[in-house]
Chains A and B, each alone.
Chain A
Amino acid sequence: MRVNLGIDHSTSRPRRLISAAALCLAALGLAGTAGANTSNGYNLPTGVTDLARDMYGLHMEVFWICVGIAIVVFGAMIYALVKFRHSQGAVADTSMLHSTKVEVIWTIIPVVILVVMAIPAADLILKQEDTRNSQLSIRVTGYQWKWEYSYMDSAEGVDFFSTLARDSNFARQVNSGIDPKSVPNYLLEVDKPLVIPSGTKVRLLLTSQDVIHAWWVPDFGAKRAAIPGFVNELWFKVDPGKEGIYRGQCAALCGRDHGFMPVVVDVRTPDEFKKWVEIQKAAAKQAALPAPAPPAAPPTAQALPN
């Protein structure tokens, strides 16, 4: 039920329009569908992966338990504040020193509540850490202040950097005079997003070339530090039918432009992803060829003296 709520919101028309406009403006030339942020602006995103949904569910479970405890505890406090006022003639009961019975009770009850929270949490930890049987691995390297995505497995050879989009970069300069609200996806847009297939278990291998960064897409429930000298792992599997653009940010203070190295993921259907990989590979091959310039050069050279 909660999941539905979030999805309804995410597909609301204005947001879709804005995202679509953003895509056009960015002139990415991609066949991406509308972007989606499944947070309602004051709560965790309901997410588009199993893990994110489980996180949301556990978050709400713990939240409501806390609300329940708060009602009891704050209720007792407020009752005491209202009922036992000196000005209302309340007389203190100075014989109330301690009671082993109630103290044991209010030690044991919290323990039970904590166990109730810990069991599903432990379950989810095991699920989260299970990176086996991934279908696509991508190496993610953090730099000050950009990300490098190096594909492995079926997309071996595709490798590129992803940095803050130009219009965001102009607008974010001190006193740029550009209203951030006029920039589509201000600070959450990159020149080249990470492209992944939906319905596929994607495993990221994270590391860094300089300082510690953290890769984070809230809608995937995926956050992990990228640490020099270490390779951290995380996985996610975006639900089929949830293709679109998902956005996040670096989540570890990494210096001056820490706030300006967004993570943007373009989720496509496996077929479209395959096509995209082929285009990338072809482009890479083209770039790797000895430059086609020499055959073209002689005519130019000849043309010049004339």
Chain B
Amino acid sequence: MANVHASNTAHDAHDDHDHHDGPATGIKRWIFATNHKDIGTMYLVFSLIMFFIGGAMAMGIRAELFQPGLQLMDPVFFNQLTTNHALIMIFGAVMPAFVGLANWMVPLQVGAPDMALPRMNNLSFWLLPFAFTLLLSTMFVPGGMAAAGWTLYPPLSLQTGDAFPMLIFAIHMMGASSIMGAINIIVTIMNMRAPGMNLLKMPLFCWSWLITAYLLIAVMPVLAGAVTMLLTDHFFKTSFFNAAGGGDPVMFEHIFWFFGHPEVYIMILPAFGIISEILPTFARKPLFGATSMIYAIASIAFLSFIVWGHHMFVDGMPVAAQLFYMMSTMLIAVPTGVKVFNWTATLWRGSLTFEPPMLFALSFLFLFTIGGFSGVMLAIVPVDFQYNQTYFVVAHFHYVLVPGAIFAIMGAVYYWLPKWTGHMYSMKLATWHFWLSTIFVNVLFFPQHFLGLAGMPRRIPDYAVQFSDWNMVSSLGGFGFGLSQILFAIVIIQCIRGGKKATALVWDDARPNGLEWTLSSPPPYHSFTTAPEVK
């Protein structure tokens, strides 16, 4: 009883102390942040920094591949760059950007005062800087960074130097962060929706994140298990993946891709949600087939668990398994097609304007579809034997990740940035950023289809001379794309510093729909302290 009493008093005292409306001052505001807006901002800034670090690595890769012969780096360093470019872009740039967007927008869109678990929210963000400092510090340890590819296939990954345990610990931290982020989003959406907002009235962005969060909870522990087994194989003489000890290197591939395939949908489903927010606004017309959009996301999420074998066709697989994975993979084209058709129907008989978020969303629509086509081609097992492990695959997944996931993120930033900062940004610079990005991203990745078909394997630092021309084109596109992103940073920084005042609706002319637009721009530090009514 005494304990209960004591804790009650403590609680009261705490309440008295806590009555303030604005943020804490100085660095404490960020270190002890529990406000979803502050944490969202930190996630987004972190992701932008990682985008530039991962991008710098990509520039190194494209510089070495600019012409045949090795001019700049040892092959080991090249492999380190490809490996860490992938890890940083996936876990450091794309995923945190989506979590940051969720932090900012989910409470605003469902009419909640904050995320359900604010302190866990703080922890899930602050794990990331440590995880990536650890990952990047492997640059300075004996043996250098991990160089076995982001897929970490053993036995090759077991040849990693001192970076190995650091990499695995970093992955564990990233995984813990993702799981906590996912739990927070699910709990917020399930428990903190405003009265009247039933699930089917919920904005598509929240829907896509709700499903993504379940995917994260399902597969991040699988990755953690896989890398832990690698760790014990390396340091404790287990033989999970060591054939000489009775283990099975292919089992790692199965476990990894059981994580890895849902992971690629983790990086695209929130993008689907974003596109489903932006297109209706600037088409001035509700999303076509909103309910079937939700079912489509859910079916894609379900299918993502039963297609992992399509990454492993050349590793040897019974005919029945090849047929199964081929057909389940092809099936994904159906709900994805439904989404693309519904988006097109949303544009149909609309009244379109072309503000920067809309431009990025439209670019997504076209270029993601191209990535979808190459995806269908890759699903065809017999031909996959030719495509697998070539630049055709590189072109495919960059088409779905760069003009797919990343363009959606950029579209989302341009859509909501005035809401967050209260200022309009330079439409002119943002439009320039859009056109340069869209042109260069195609110069960068389209020729890689040709390279792959003509027989250039991926992950090689140097190539036979018949691949010279397309590599040079691709590299030039790469440098152009990389440089264009500086504009993105400039637009954001300018917008944070000032600019024309944004109205509550921001896009007055388009009259966007949703609870976030009922708040002022920027919204009050504590928004929806009284839940809004949703009719």
Q: Do A and B bind each other?
A: yes
A residues 239-288 near B (Cβ < 8 Å) are: 247-260
Once the chains bind, are A232 and B315 in contact (CB under 8 Å)?
yes
Separation of A52 and B316 alpha carbons in the complex (Å): 18
B156 near A212 with CB under 8 A, answer yes
A91 to B285: give the CA distance in the assembly, Å: 10
Contact present for A103 and B292 (CB under 8 Å):
yes
A222 to B455, CA, bound (A): 12
Within 8 Å by CB of A114, from B319, B330, B338, B349, lies B330
Q: Which B residues are CB-close (under 8 A) to A103?
A: 289, 292, 338, 341-342
Q: Is A17 an interface residue (CB 8 A)?
A: no
Instruction: Determine which of A44, A230, A248, A260 lies in contact with B250 in the assembled complex, contact meaning CB atoms within 8 Å.
Output: A230
Find out whether the CB atom of B349 lies under 8 angstroms from the CB atom of A93: yes
**Does the CB pair B249–A229 fall under 8 Å?**
yes
**A interface bracket (residues with beta carbon within 8 Å of B):** 35 or more
Does B514 count as interface, using CB distance less than 8 angstroms? no
B453 adjacent to A43 (CB under 8 Å):
yes
What is the CA–CA distance of A134 and B70 in the complex, to the nearest angstrom?
41
Interfacial chain A residues near B289, Cβ < 8 Å:
97-99, 103
Q: Out of A93, A229, A258, name the residue touching B460 (CB < 8 Å).
A: A258
Judging by beta carbons under 8 Å apart, are A70 and B373 in contact?
yes
Q: How far is the CB of B82 from chain A (nearest CB, A)?
A: 8
Interface check A300, CB cutoff 8 A = no
Interfacial chain B residues near A181, Cβ < 8 Å: 68, 465, 468
| B374-400 at interface with A (beta carbon < 8 Å) | 376-377, 380-383, 385-386, 388-390
A121, chain B: closest CB distance, angstroms? 5
Collect the chain A residues with CB atoms within 8 Å of residue B468's CB: 181
A96 to chain B, nearest CB (A): 6
Chain A residues within an 8 Å CB radius of B69: 171-172, 176, 178-180
Instruction: Specify which of B68, B334, B457 is in contact with A216 (CB 8 Å cutoff).
Output: B457
- Which listed segment binds B: A74-82, A146-154, A155-163, A291-299? A74-82
Chain B contacts of A40 at CB under 8 A?
454
Specify which chain A residues have a CB less than 8 angstroms from the CB of B326 in the assembled complex: 118, 121-122, 125
B-side interface residues, number (CB < 8 Å): 90
Residues of A near B382 (CB, < 8 A) are 54-55, 58, 121, 124-125, 128
Contact: B288 with A249, CB < 8 Å? no
Tell whether, in the assembled complex, residue B244 and residue A98 are in contact, meaning their CB atoms are under 8 Å apart.
no
- With A125-B381, A185-B464: A106-B243 Cβ-Cβ less than 8 Å: no
With contacts A69-B373, A92-B284, A253-B148 known, is A223 near B70, CB below 8 A? no
Q: Decide: A230 and B455 in contact? CB cutoff 8 A.
A: no
Q: Does B137 contact A (CB under 8 A)?
A: no
| B75 adjacent to chain A (CB < 8 Å) | yes
Q: Which of B247, B285, B330, B370 contacts A96 (CB 8 A)?
A: B285
A87–B50 Cα gap in the complex (Å)? 39
B350 at interface (Cβ–Cβ under 8 A)? yes
Chain A residues with CB under 8 Å of B341's CB are 73, 103, 106
Closest to B296 in A: A107
Interface string of A104-133 (1 = CB under 8 A from B): 001100110010011001101110110000
Q: Is B366 an interface residue (CB 8 A)?
A: yes
A117–B156 touching, CB < 8 Å: no
Does A59 count as interface, using CB distance less than 8 angstroms?
A: yes
**Interface flags, B200-220, vs A, CB<8A=1, else 0:** 000000000000000000000
Residues in chain A within 8 A of chain B (CB atoms): 37, 39-45, 52, 54-55, 58-59, 62-63, 66, 69-70, 73-74, 76-77, 80-81, 84-87, 90-94, 96-99, 102-103, 106-107, 110-111, 114, 117-118, 121-122, 124-126, 128-129, 171-176, 178-181, 185-188, 210-212, 214, 216, 218, 221-225, 227-230, 232-233, 247-260
Q: Which residues from chain B sit less than 8 Å from chain A, CB to CB?
A: 68-76, 79, 147-149, 153, 155-156, 159, 243-244, 247-250, 283-286, 288-292, 314-316, 319, 322-323, 326-327, 330-331, 333-334, 337-338, 340-342, 344-345, 347-353, 362, 365-366, 369-370, 373, 376-377, 380-383, 385-386, 388-390, 450, 453-455, 457, 459-466, 468, 470
| Supplied contacts A211-B155, A252-B153, A252-B389, 16 more A-B pairs, CB within 8 Å | A85-B352, A87-B353, A91-B351, A94-B284, A94-B286, A114-B331, A118-B380, A125-B323, A128-B382, A176-B70, A180-B465, A221-B385, A223-B389, A249-B460, A251-B389, A251-B457
What are 23 A-B residue pairs whose CB atoms fall within 8 Å in the complex? A39-B453, A39-B454, A43-B450, A44-B383, A55-B386, A62-B377, A76-B344, A84-B348, A98-B292, A106-B338, A114-B333, A125-B326, A180-B68, A222-B385, A223-B314, A227-B243, A227-B250, A229-B243, A251-B390, A255-B147, A256-B76, A257-B75, A260-B462
